[in-house]
Structure 1
Amino acid sequence: MNEADIDAVAAIRVRGWQHAYAGIVPRTRLDAMTVEDDAEQRRKWFARPRRRSTDLVAVDAADVPVGWICFGPYRGRSSAAGREEASGWEEEAGEIYALYVRPDLIGRGAGRALLAEAHALMGLDERGQGFRTVVLWVLEANRRARRFYERSGYRADGGTQDDVYDDVTLTELRYRHALRRCDR
């Protein structure tokens, strides 16, 4: 991803939220999202000098972004019971922060390709960052995303976190996947 992709990525993210979280996240929250606001946030994030994340885009035949993934070191988020106790794996863990595909292209392979490339870049081989494990957070009620990640080798590991959207509390589940030497 480069700076020229930010507007397209913002559109993918906003439309992705509005599609994936319809009936889960309150409609008022989804309706309030704008591509312009999201693009402004993406620009600030992208310009951070010590940013440790990596952003990739999947493009169509015309070189237009159709999917986006953002990943980096595991942030060690809180669990519902408070700060999680370190058990050792966290030090060598990466995290998928976001993965979205244009809603009309879901199920056609862009998400799988982005995830595979992220695994390769995070992994243990000469291309990778040396992470042994990758984690991500997914809304408990987002069954479609949970099935996608489970088919990709992720398993819920018991970590939870609650997020509040317009006074509605939604639980996120932490999913974990062990990276192999060449996980592509």
Structure 2
Amino acid sequence: MLLIREMTLDDVDAVAEVRVRGWQTAYTGLMPQPYLDSMSVTEDAKQRRAFLERGAGAMANWVAERAGKVAGWACFGPHPEPEGPPRGGELYAMYVLPEQQSTGVGTALMDKVVSEAHRRGLPWVRLWVLQGNAPARRFYEQSGFRLDGHEESSDIDGTPVPEVRYELPLT
């Protein structure tokens, strides 16, 4: 049985493991390997704990739990606007343990995100994904998201990492 629930401070270490393992699996070949290899579950947990202790504001964090263990995590909140208040929502992050992929965890987390966006009365949800991350892009497209034409690139240890933006209209 899969349970989607709000993340607590007790989940920080498990979420950090989901996130780091997710990056190290999904982004192999898309980011510099030394960068991925240097990622630390302990450091990620420390940053996530400090963030949660400060308060998440309008941001929501959920975990997917199966058999008492965290199998996935999603973070959602207002889409940052260059000027003025947020008008829509953004899926900031979603990761699923590699061994839990294609088992319904991502779909259940996405359902929670979309349900929360509807509850907040938002007209759309956006997300950024690495351009070369074909499995994630397929998942988002199957969830109803479509490319909206926006692209940007980050620099990770001197390597450009291009991202594309997707949008899911809700109204």
Normalised TM-score (structure 2): 0.91
1:35-114 equivalence runs, <5 A: 35-49=41-55, 51-61=57-67, 63-76=68-81, 91-114=86-109
Structure 1, unmatched stretches of 5+, are 77-82
Closer, same or farther: CA 69–152 of 1 in aligned 2, 3 Å: same
CA deviation after TM superposition for structure 1 residue 51, in Å = 2.6
Percent of residue pairs bearing the same amino acid type: 42
CA deviation after TM superposition for structure 1 residue 92, in Å = 2.6
Match of residue 4 from structure 2: none
SS in 1 for 2:77: strand
CA deviation after TM superposition for structure 1 residue 179, in Å = 1.7
- Partner residue of 2:110 out of 115, 118, 126: 115
Report how many residues are paired. 165
Cα deviations by residue, 1:27-85 (Å, 9 ceiling, x for unpaired): 01100101000001101111223632100000012x21100000000023xxxxxx7xx
Distance 2:105 2:136 in 1: 14
> Is 1:177 matched with 2:168?
yes
Distance 1:50 1:113 in 2: 22
Structure 1: 4+ residue segments shifted above 4 A: none
Distance 1:95 1:50 in 2: 14
1 or 2, which has the higher strand percentage?
A: 2
Match of residue 80 from structure 1: none
Normalised TM-score (structure 1): 0.85
Cα deviations by residue, 1:139-182 (Å, 9 ceiling, x for unpaired): 001111101000000011011111111100111101000125xx
Q: Is the 8 A contact 1:92 1:130 kept in 2?
A: no
